[in-house]
Chain A
């Protein structure tokens, strides 16, 4: 069987690739190169006076403790969001995959949060956990917990992790469920006949067979926590208190706000871009080896 299509000459393949390439160039390469260029400049808000400063913006950045703090925050935030959203989604998917009454209803409800925009998800969580307005916050306070994300950095971090996790569970759930359903029933039935209990079946058969899905989700989730959680952080904590929830992507925004430090902001987004590329490459190089397709 022939695996690849063969074309005579380059014209047709290039034409076929053109739409996708154009989209990539316009929406990725062009803005990315603009960011790289901007990161070498010192400019006023309106772009009237421009000075080329080489790597000064980068040097400034690495000289500031706030940047390292944002780096650590991003690490903590990404780790917990990826961990919770993947493990909870897997748990829900396994539960929903069984023969239970109303399975369809559960599945639909579990997918809903994905349709909620990040900023709105943030506001929903604020309504529950705002120390003055939130029902759940009042519950916590009546239990004697001094819940105050306005000033307590750990409380604020917990809140953004919860909101970001809640929002991502649906997406992961959907993929895990599809993954589970594509595992051949015969394999599992054979294990049942051999006397394997559910836990053993899960860890020795289901989980390894799910590894391509898990790997794909890990990559997607890291991209999600690095970039898409901006709206949640902006509405829930605004990066505060005292920078406790300021992640790298949020710092890109807050430093560039009002056109104050566009060069520094651009330098940060270039670094962020490089980090995500490196991380994805690393994952494909090393983690993918452990994946059984």
Chain B
């Protein structure tokens, strides 16, 4: 008994001694939405950062899907205990940037902490999405991707199609018809992320506005233009091909991506970040190509826009904690770390130096599919229509658009009527957002 007590006291004292350096550490909470292999990446990054220095400790917490994480962050902020770093998907950008008291711009975080920070060293096609029109970086890009067309090489061969994938939409439609005839009778081609593919990217890739005021970059008093000719033409094509069984709708988010890897859909538009999944699960020869375009639209293809998520720093924290956040961002920007993240996860490098290094290493010769999104993003100097989209309440607006697109695809509405309704309902949501964003 006495012995036991002694050991216990000793153990307690030891634990206290061991814990004391941890007390001096400043904790940085990082909420994220990454699952599977990407969750491992997040955990590993935090571990590496924590091992690299003693003053700060990054603590990661998985908060569910992108919308769930945003909801959790909003609720936590309202309750007065927001995390330091929050991963928010690109759709939530306008919501975050309008909440001036809730966030602290990354540029300010870096400056106040005295960290070396040169916004010009980052890829403008990526940081542009997360910066003010004056070029001030608001959030820190973490996992960026763009939309590409994945294709099943074996299927193209079997259908007697040329080895080079179709480049334009009319070519895609023809190829999909041949694929259907060759046995892919459920799905010739499809897309994930319905509105990202068929509205936001479609607009940028053809240099056609999705909304006025430079797609919302120049002010919250923007209005949608998604019932324009290009969008109506494209949706009409999709609706007709859906009826013929050549196109097959795969849902609003990426839950239908498995239709590509299982071999069901041989042509599939989705995020370039689908790479890891394809590599692990596709049992056929595959690659990807830039998104198709309509050749009769002057200037197409323009450039694509990014997707994925960025890290937002929440407001109202202590100076010392911000210093830790700044140090962590510097750690993330490290060239070698970016190279490793890019080549392993398939997400885009965020600094120019990392991109150049991977290019020089000849990596893209063996893995051309990892460069496709970068080539799309840098295809041309971005215009007001292709820098990105910045619409308040886009999380909900995307659902509204999807609803209307589904009504067109299942024949309840004509494509024009569906897009008119999508445009009007979207504008109502924008006006409401404008009223709250002061």
Chain A: minimal CB distance from B23 (Å): 31
Q: Whole-angstrom distance between the alpha carbons of A240 and B77 in the complex?
A: 30
Contact assessment for B407 and A51 in the assembled complex, using a CB-CB cutoff below 8 Å: no
Query: Which of B101, B262, B404, B432 gathers the greatest number of chain A CB atoms within 10 Å?
Result: B432
Selected from A152, A239, A257, the residue in CB contact (under 8 A) with B67 is A257
Selected from A43, A133, A241, A254, the residue in CB contact (under 8 A) with B258 is A133
Contact assessment for B95 and A259 in the assembled complex, using a CB-CB cutoff below 8 Å: yes
Selected from B74, B98, B242, B258, the residue in CB contact (under 8 A) with A132 is B258
Return chain A residues, CB-CB under 8 Å to B397: 260
With A132-B259, A258-B71, A259-B95: A46-B77 Cβ-Cβ less than 8 Å: yes
Total A residues in contact with B, Cβ cutoff 8 Å: 28
Contact assessment for B436 and A43 in the assembled complex, using a CB-CB cutoff below 8 Å: yes
Task: Digitize B90-132: 1 where CB-to-A-CB distance is under 8 Å, 0 elsewhere.
Answer: 0110010011111000000000000000000000000000000
With A132-B262, A240-B403, A241-B406: A260-B395 Cβ-Cβ less than 8 Å: yes
With A44-B99, A51-B436, A242-B410: A258-B393 Cβ-Cβ less than 8 Å: yes
Does B270 reach chain A (CB closer than 8 Å)?
no
With A44-B98, A45-B74: A242-B407 Cβ-Cβ less than 8 Å: yes
Selected from B262, B396, B437, the residue in CB contact (under 8 A) with A258 is B396
Q: Whole-angstrom distance between the alpha carbons of A79 and B259 in the complex?
A: 35
Return chain A residues, CB-CB under 8 Å to B101: 46, 48
Closest to B70 in A: A258
Closest to A235 in B: B255
Chain A: minimal CB distance from B336 (Å): 35
Give the contact-size bracket for chain B: 35 or more
Does B195 reach chain A (CB closer than 8 Å)?
no
Does A59 reach chain B (CB closer than 8 Å)?
no
With A45-B95, A241-B406: A132-B264 Cβ-Cβ less than 8 Å: yes
Task: Digitize B408-436: 1 where CB-to-A-CB distance is under 8 Å, 0 elsewhere.
Answer: 01101000000000000000010011011
Does A153 reach chain B (CB closer than 8 Å)?
yes
Selected from B262, B404, B436, the residue in CB contact (under 8 A) with A44 is B436
Q: Whole-angstrom distance between the alpha carbons of A255 and B393 in the complex?
A: 10
Does A238 reach chain B (CB closer than 8 Å)?
yes
Q: Which of the candidate stretches B46-54, B228-236, B246-254, B362-370 sits at the interface with the other chain?
A: B246-254
Does A49 reach chain B (CB closer than 8 Å)?
yes
A residues near B, CB below 8 A? 42-49, 51, 132-133, 150-153, 238-243, 254-255, 257-261
Q: Nearest 8 pairs between A and B by C-beta?
A: A258-B395, A44-B436, A242-B406, A260-B396, A260-B393, A46-B102, A241-B406, A242-B407
